[in-house]
């Protein structure tokens, strides 16, 4: 019999594996020892999260003060519950929503559950690396103007900022535009819970005029997994509806262990945030400066990517492998993101947050130790040195110039990295059609009845109601060959996909790739 989960977790915890991933506490010792000792229910004197009037109300007020929000709700079901509640509260059933196409799957689930009419904002992208840029205020204005001209009223706009890769949008200007058109701005700031802790980070969305902001404390702060926050600013969002939907989407038995962890996190930040984040940012700066000397691997930041990145969260460390393409030649070895993640894991016992086609993401937080920074720095410098030697051997002409961003020439910049699929049905309309299960790679031309996404980060490549293209299937085939995780389909093997049985749609539904 294989080892049980608890045994496996204990063994993993006792190993020297270092987390370059969430949760933000980085497995540092907590404040309360054995969690069983403080795991209670809503007994006398300990308040009730769904009707907070005492100690939990005070906790939420302290969090609101820390972030500068008018009101804050603690979430024990992660940012997902906050996103679902925010959209359900701010958009009438069947209403219209304008959303960034690179939103997390939770936003799409809210669209499905509420039968919403969704329109998309596509971020410009650095296709060579596969990184989405910012949503620009001009895009938002143009889309809202178009809807208004067509006689349609958009009730809410949803933006993800920062993205999984640390790309930040100009929320202040977007908020001004959204409010000008009478809509509510909801910002999924799950990866930016730390922004409000230090002026060297981008301004948090609460400070920039967003109406509802969702933070995942557990992603980048010292809090336990599933700990999150929903902030409300101003009067545009209906707070009574928000409370109602938070009661629907969250468990009726909220964990006091999670809430105690949030309380400890807030206390720590109120008392020590400046010294903690000053030290963290200095460690981060020192490591980045040393890694900028790499010759083959390359640190990505918002200043040099071929995309419109308004700001960039430098605590997200993105290591690009794009120049490694020069090494591949006729070799069967691909020096890409999954390869680098495997090297870090197997040789150095460093577990990255995400591996993409051309880069690896490490999440660094205030809880990362100097040892953690040193281990990542030394590993990358060593790998880069080996690649540098191999590159010079494979092409002596590169001796004089390996540094800088390589132009591989095989991936021209495009407008968007996310596929702009043809929308045939709304997400909810697909629920009313019978479906067929067909081979994934013979589904070109069919209408998807399922979400398909890479996880992480959980951004759909195709959503129900969109037509499946040959281009998408070719990309999925490539992702799978590189060991990347494709999820969303009912068939966990990923061999089959559910498609809408729609006789009236023309085209060859059995096209392969």
CB 505 within 8 A of CB 465: no
CATH 3.90.1150.150 residue ranges of the chain are 273-398
- Distance between CA 50 and CA 52 in Å, rounded? 6
pLDDT at position 330:
52
51-68 pLDDT, tens digit each: 999 999 999 999 999 999
pLDDT at position 491:
94
At 414, the pLDDT band (50, 70, 90 cuts) reads very low
pTM of the model: 0.93
CB 204 within 8 A of CB 213: yes
Crossing angle of helices 137-149/171-180, nearest 10°?
10
46 Cβ contact partners less than 8 Å away, ≥ 6 residues apart: 40, 54, 55, 56, 256
pLDDT at position 476:
92
What is the percent of the chain with per-residue pLDDT over 70, rounded to a whole number? 90
Alpha-carbon dihedral of residues 120, 126, 131, 137, nearest 10 degrees? Answer: -40
259-316 pLDDT, tens digit each: 999 999 999 999 999 999 999 999 999 999 999 999 999 999 866 655 667 899 999 9
pLDDT at position 43:
97
- Distance between CA 318 and CA 338 in Å, rounded? 13
CATH 3.90.105.10 residue ranges of the chain are 429-500
pLDDT(323) > 90: no
pLDDT(230) > 90: yes
pLDDT at position 508:
45
**What CATH code is assigned to 429-500?**
3.90.105.10
Instruction: Please state whether beta strands 486-487 and 452-454 pair in parallel, antiparallel, or not at all (unpaired).
Output: antiparallel
pLDDT(413) > 60: no
Residue 308 CB-half CA count within 13 A: 15
Question: Which of 3.30.930.10, 1.20.1080.10, 3.90.1150.150, 3.40.50.300 would CATH assign to domain 273-398?
Answer: 3.90.1150.150
66-106 pLDDT, tens digit each: 999 999 999 999 999 999 999 999 999 999 999 999 999 99
At 407, the pLDDT band (50, 70, 90 cuts) reads very low
At 430, the pLDDT band (50, 70, 90 cuts) reads very high
pLDDT at position 416:
55
Sign of the C-alpha dihedral, residues 423, 426, 432, 437? positive
The residue count of the chain comes to 513
| CATH T-level assignment (fold) for domain 35-269 | 3.40.640
463-475 pLDDT, tens digit each: 999 999 999 999 9
CATH 3.40.640.10 residue ranges of the chain are 35-269
pLDDT at position 482:
83
pLDDT at position 50:
97
pLDDT at position 3:
87
How many CB atoms are closer than 10 A to CB 394? 13
At 1, the pLDDT band (50, 70, 90 cuts) reads low
At 402, the pLDDT band (50, 70, 90 cuts) reads very low
Alpha-carbon dihedral of residues 27, 32, 35, 40, nearest 10 degrees? Answer: -140
Question: How far is CA 206 from its chain centroid?
Answer: 19
- Distance between CA 207 and CA 225 in Å, rounded? 25
Alpha-carbon dihedral of residues 390, 396, 397, 400, nearest 10 degrees? Answer: 70
Q: Please give the C-alpha separations between residue 96 and each of 58, 71, 81, 180, 250, in angstroms, as whole numbers.
A: 36, 26, 20, 17, 25
Q: Where are the alpha helices (DSSP H) in 199-334?
A: 217-220, 239-249, 256-291, 325-328
pLDDT(506) > 50: no
pLDDT at position 306:
57
What is the percent of the chain with per-residue pLDDT over 90, rounded to a whole number? 80
Name the nearest CA neighbour of 189 among 275, 311, 274, 318. 311
pLDDT at position 329:
56
pLDDT(175) > 60: yes
Which of 128 and 497 is assigned the larger pLDDT? 497
């Amino acid at each position: 019999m294989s080892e049980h989960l608890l045994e496996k977790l204990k063994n993993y915890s006792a190993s020297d594996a270092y987390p370059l991933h969430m949760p933000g506490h980085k497995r540092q010792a907590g404040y309360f020892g054995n969690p069983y000792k403080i795991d209670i229910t809503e007994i006398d004197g300990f308040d009730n999260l769904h009707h907070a009037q005492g100690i939990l109300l005070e906790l939420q007020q302290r969090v609101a003060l820390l972030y500068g929000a008018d009101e804050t709700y603690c979430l024990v079901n992660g940012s997902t519950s906050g996103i679902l509640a925010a959209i359900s509260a701010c958009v009438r059933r069947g209403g219209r929503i304008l959303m960034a196409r690179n939103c997390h799957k939770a936003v799409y689930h809210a669209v499905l559950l509420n039968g919403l009419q969704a329109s998309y904002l596509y971020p410009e992208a650095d296709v060579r690396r596969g990184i989405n840029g910012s949503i620009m205020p001009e895009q938002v204005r143009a889309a809202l103007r178009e809807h208004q001209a067509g006689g349609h009223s958009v009730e809410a706009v949803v933006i993800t900022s920062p993205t999984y890769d640390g790309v930040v949008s100009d929320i202040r200007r977007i908020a001004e535009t959204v409010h000008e058109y009478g809509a509510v701005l909801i910002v999924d700031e799950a990866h930016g819970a730390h922004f409000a802790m230090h002026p060297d980070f981008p301004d948090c969305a609460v400070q920039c005029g967003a109406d509802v902001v969702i933070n995942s404390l557990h992603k980048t702060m010292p809090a336990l997994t599933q700990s999150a926050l929903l902030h409300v600013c101003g009067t545009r969002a209906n707070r009574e509806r928000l409370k109602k939907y938070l009661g629907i989407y969250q468990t009726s038995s909220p964990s006091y262990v999670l809430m105690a962890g949030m309380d400890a996190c807030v206390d720590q930040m109120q008392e020590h945030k400046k010294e903690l984040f000053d030290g963290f940012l200095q460690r981060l700066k020192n490591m980045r400066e040393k890694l900028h000397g790499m010759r083959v691997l390359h640190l990505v930041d918002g200043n040099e990517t071929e995309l419109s990145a308004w700001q960039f969260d430098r605590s997200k460390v993105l290591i690009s492998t794009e120049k490694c393409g020069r090494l591949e030649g006729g070799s069967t070895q691909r020096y890409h993101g999954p390869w680098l993640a495997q090297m870090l894991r197997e040789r150095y016992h460093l577990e990255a947050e995400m591996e993409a086609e051309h880069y690896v993401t490490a999440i660094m937080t205030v809880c990362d130790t100097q040892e953690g920074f040193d281990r990542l720095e030394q590993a990358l410098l060593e790998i880069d040195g080996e690649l540098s030697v191999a590159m010079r051997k494979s092409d002596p002409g590169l001796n004089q110039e390996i540094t800088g961003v390589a132009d591989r020439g095989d991936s021209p910049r495009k407008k968007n990295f996310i596929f702009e699929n043809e929308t045939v049905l709304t997400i909810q309309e697909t629920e009313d059609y019978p479906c067929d299960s067909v081979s994934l790679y013979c589904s070109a031309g069919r209408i998807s009845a399922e979400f398909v996404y890479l996880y992480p980060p959980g951004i759909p490549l195709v959503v129900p109601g969109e037509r499946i293209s040959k281009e998408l299937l070719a990309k999925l085939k490539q992702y799978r060959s590189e060991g990347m995780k494709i999820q969303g389909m009912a068939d966990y093997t990923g061999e089959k996909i559910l498609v809408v049985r729609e006789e009236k749609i023309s085209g060859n539904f059995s096209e392969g790739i």
